A and B are shown apart, each in its own frame.
Chain A
Amino acid sequence: MRSILSVSISAIAVVAASASFAQQRVVKYYGDFDPAPLEGMQKIISAFEEANPDIKIEFQNFDHEGYKTSIRNFLTAEPPDLANWYAGNRMAPFVNAGQFMDVSDVWEENGLKESLASALPSMTIDDKQWGVPYTYYQWGIYYNKDAYAQAGVDVPETWDDFIANCAKFQEAGIDCVTTGTKALWPGAGIFDYMNLRTNGYEFHMDLANGNVEWTDDRVKAAFAEWAKLVEPGYITANHAALDWQDAAALLVQGKAANYVMGNFAVAVFKEGGMTDDTLGFMPFPTINPDVPRAEEAPTDTVHVTAGAQNPDDAKKFLAFLATAEAQTTINEAIGQLPINKDAKVAEDDPFIKAGFELLSTTEGGIAQFFDRDAPAEMAKIGMEGFQQFMVQPDQLDNILERLEKARGRIYK
Chain B
Amino acid sequence: MSHASTDARSRTWWRENQQKLTPYIFLIPGVIFFLVYVIIPIFQSFWISGFDWDGLGEKQWIGLENYRELFDDDAFYTSLKNNIIWLVLYMLAVPAGLGIAIFLNQKVRGIRAYKSLFFFPFVISQVVVGLIFAWFYAPNFGLFYILIERLTGSGVAILADPDLVTYGIIAAGLWPQIAYCMILYLTGLNAVDPEQIEAARLDAAKGFKMLWYVILPQLRPATFMAVVVTVIGALRSFDLVSIMTDGGPFGSSRVLSFYMYEQALSEYGYRMGYGASIAVILFLIMMVFISGFIWKMVDDERKGL
Contact = CB atoms under 8 A, between A and B. Distances in A.
Partners in one complex: yes
Nearest to A98: B57
B96 interface: no
Contacts of A239: 160
A403 B267 CA distance: 19
A6 interface: no
Nearest to B52: A412
A245 interface: no
A371 B268 contact: yes
Given A97-B54, A241-B249, A391-B250, A69 B69 contact: no
Contact of A93 (B56, B74, B140): B56
B271 A184 contact: no
Contacts of B269: 376-377, 380
Q: Point out which of A93, A98, A238, A380 has the most chain B C-beta atoms below 10 A from its C-beta.
A: A238
B268 A377 contact: yes
A237 B139 contact: yes
A240 interface: yes
Contacts of A353: none
Interface in B1-46: none
Given A238-B160, A377-B268, A402-B74, A387 B57 contact: no
A241 B268 contact: no
A94 B56 contact: yes
A183 B246 contact: yes
What secondary structure prevails in chain A residues at the interface with B? helix
A387 B56 contact: no
A126 to B, nearest CB: 15
B251 A384 contact: yes
A360 interface: no
B233 interface: no
A250 B269 CA distance: 32
Contact of B249 (A69, A391, A402): A391
Given A377-B268, A387-B248, A72 B56 contact: yes
Given A69-B265, A69-B266, A409-B69, A377 B246 contact: no
B250 A241 contact: no
A98 B56 CA distance: 9
Contacts, number: 82
A388 B246 contact: no
Contact of B250 (A93, A97, A379, A388): A388
A400 to B, nearest CB: 14
Contacts of A240: 157, 159-160, 248-250
Nearest to A184: B248
Contact of A238 (B139, B246, B266, B271): B139
A93 B53 CA distance: 12
A168 interface: no
Interface in A41-97: 65, 68-69, 72, 75-76, 93-94, 96-97
A237 B161 CA distance: 10
Contact of B159 (A76, A99, A241, A376): A241
Contact of A241 (B56, B69, B137, B271): B137
A69 B270 contact: no
B95 interface: no
A interface, size bucket: 35 or more
A345 B248 CA distance: 39
Q: Point out which of B74, B246, B248 has the most chain A C-beta atoms below 10 A from its C-beta.
A: B248
B55 interface: yes
A76 B271 CA distance: 17
B interface, size bucket: 20 to 34
A404 to B, nearest CB: 13
A242 interface: yes
A385 interface: yes
A182 B57 contact: no
Interface in A234-249: 237-242, 246
Contacts of B139: 237-238, 241-242
Contacts of B159: 240-241
B87 interface: no
Given A380-B268, A391-B162, A96 B249 contact: no
A93 B266 CA distance: 14
B246 A97 contact: no
B246 A182 contact: yes
Contacts of A72: 55-56
B74 to A, nearest CB: 7
Contacts of A96: 57
Interface in B260-301: 262, 265-271
Contacts of B137: 241
Nearest to A402: B74
Nearest to A94: B56
Interface in B123-173: 137-140, 157-160, 162
A69 to B, nearest CB: 7
A379 B246 CA distance: 16
B88 to A, nearest CB: 25
Nearest to A242: B139
A238 B145 CA distance: 11
B245 interface: yes
Contacts of A391: 160, 162, 249-250
A387 B249 contact: yes
Contacts of A76: 56
Contacts of A93: 54, 56, 270
Interface in B224-249: 245-246, 248-249
A69 B56 CA distance: 13
Q: When A and B form their complex, which 9 residue pairs have the shortest distance between CB atoms, in order from nearest?
A: A240-B249, A238-B157, A241-B160, A380-B268, A97-B56, A388-B250, A240-B160, A238-B139, A241-B159
23 contacts: A69-B265, A76-B56, A93-B54, A97-B56, A97-B57, A99-B56, A183-B246, A184-B248, A238-B140, A240-B248, A241-B138, A241-B139, A246-B138, A250-B140, A376-B267, A377-B269, A380-B269, A384-B250, A384-B251, A385-B250, A387-B248, A388-B249, A391-B249
Given A182-B245, A238-B160, 19 more contacts: A68-B267, A69-B267, A97-B54, A237-B157, A238-B140, A241-B139, A241-B157, A242-B160, A250-B140, A371-B268, A376-B270, A377-B269, A379-B268, A380-B269, A384-B250, A387-B249, A391-B250, A392-B162, A402-B74
Interface of A: 65, 68-69, 72, 75-76, 93-94, 96-99, 181-184, 237-242, 246, 250, 371, 376-377, 379-380, 384-385, 387-388, 391-392, 402, 409
